[in-house]
Amino acid sequence: MTIKGFLIQNSLLLTLLIESPNNMKILCILYDDPKTGMPDSYPLNDLPDLEKYPDGMSLPSPKSIDFIPGQLLGCVSGELGLRKFLEDAGHTFVVTSDKDGAGCQADRELVDADVVISQPFFPYYLTRERIESAPNLKMAITAGIGSDHVDLQAAMDHKVDVVEVTYCNSRSVAEHVVMMILSLVRDYHNQHRIVNEGGWNIADAVHRSYDVEGMHVGTIAAGRIGLDVLRKMKPFDVHLHYFDRHRLPTEVEEELNLTHHESVESLVSVCHVVTINCPLHPETEHLFDDAMIGKMRKGAYIVNTARGKICDREAIARAVESGQLSGYAGDVWFPQPAPNDHVWRTMPHHGMTPHTSGTSLSAQARYASGVREILECFLDGTPIRDPYLIVQNGQLAGMGAHSYSKGSSTSGSEEAVNYKK
């Protein structure tokens, strides 16, 4: 063979390798590393050993993992523990936190990506415009639960599958909800502030503090998170209520002594505490506006760890200022990161945190394993677990068919660029 023939042959081989569907580009958008750098050590040496979720579903089960559970995985340097796995298989893996504004790295990398991975805590809003800029895009993976940052209608229109790691952090979120209910009702934040400021005035510390015992506590939606919240609140001797379009089995209602409501309006009119645990989709967007809050029991509390856009931000602020709400807590905002001047940062009697309820170190190990499991199935051409599916083959599927409606809730997401580090 001549030198020219050898070069032509190997050039063609190289082209085939590059263009082969077995060589994928995976784009992963994760939150920033700690400001002081990755930790040298962690408070705990290991995590409790869990085998399955309460409903019997097994935890994520990839063939193997390349990370240490209990360490930071959800930030840029953590990479969800995926780099070795993907690069050893010949795939291109790009990780960034630069996701907002014209010309951001995520947008530049998306145009030829096959798979995009994002998180609910630091969402890359996969709008119709972004989906249409990425002709190779085959799958959007949510590292966590809740895929409302994806324009699901556009994903269906363009046959982009959407999957998430169902149940991976549901119990983490439920724990966060219980913490926030107690901290609001007992007015913990005010009391902690008094101590930090060197004070000790007991009257100042307790003038808004109550016992939760005997209160009426209700959840909007009683899926995995909502039902777990009800179970966790039962030992506090409260009256439990729920609204859900899928009624719970009679034996569960009897076990927890639940009151079912046919409408959100009915539930909020009797509850001292309302916890929001429903998905965000066009039907739930701004569900808690001035009108709905006006139907609530005066002085009630809202805990929202579902999605920020379920609540009208200005309506919430007005209600807390006026006393219609005694307090508001949650970890979800819209957009995310929340702009520095977001009114929830400065309104009184709030217990807001960054979007952290589902990204504890324990949860990170589960959703990193779940993403690895999903990618193994996708790259091997084997079926992905049905509960992980949100959109498949242009239709709502799996958990998506149960929990979502067609349409998009991504409008306004461009405001995320207004957050300044």
In the predicted structure, residue 17 carries a pLDDT above the cut 80: no
Instruction: Name the pLDDT band for 2 (thresholds 50, 70, 90).
Output: low
Marked catalytic residue, from 91, 149, 169, 392? 169
Q: How confident is the model at residue 55 (pLDDT cuts 50, 70, 90)?
A: confident
Q: Does position 14 have pLDDT exceeding 90, yes or no?
A: no
Does the annotation count 336 as an active-site position? yes
Q: Which listed residue (130, 307, 349, 385) is catalytic?
A: 307
| Residue 22: pLDDT band with limits 50, 70, 90 | confident
What's the CA gap between 81 and 122, in Å, rounded?
18
Reply yes or no on whether 355 is catalytic. yes
pLDDT in tens, 337-358: 999 999 999 999 999 999 999 9
Give start and end residues of each alpha helix (H) in 332-392: 361-380
364 counts as catalytic: no
At which residue do the structure tokens 């990161």 appear? 337
Q: What is the mean pLDDT of the segment spanning 327-337? A: 95
Q: Give how far Cα 193 sits from Cα of 177, 178, 204, Å.
A: 21, 21, 11
* Catalytically annotated residue among 130, 171, 241, 355: 355
The number of C-alpha atoms within 13 Å of 296 and in the hemisphere containing its C-beta is 30
Count the neighbouring beta carbons within 10 Å of the beta carbon of residue 147.
Answer: 27
Residue-range domains of the chain with CATH: 11-168+359-394 (3.40.50.720), 170-352 (3.40.50.720)
For residue 76, what are the β-bridge partners? none
Q: Tell me the H-state helices in 258-312.
A: 264-268, 290-294
The one catalytic residue among 119, 336, 364, 392 = 336
pLDDT for residue 405 is more than 90: no
Q: What is the pLDDT of residue 241?
A: 98
Q: How far is CA 38 from the centre of its chain?
A: 23
Q: Name every residue whose Cβ is closer than 8 Å to that of residue 326 and which is 6 or more positions away in sequence.
A: 184, 208, 299, 300, 301, 320, 349
Order of strands across the sheet that contains 350-352? 258-261, 239-243, 216-220, 273-276, 300-304, 325-330, 350-352
Task: Give residue 176's pLDDT.
Answer: 98
Helix H or strand E segment including 94: strand 92-96
Work out the average pLDDT over 126-135: 96
pLDDT, tens only, 148-178: 999 999 999 999 999 999 999 999 999 999 9
Provide mean pLDDT across the span 278-286. 92
Q: Where is pLDDT greater, at 420 or 231?
A: 231
pLDDT at residue 4 in the model: 45
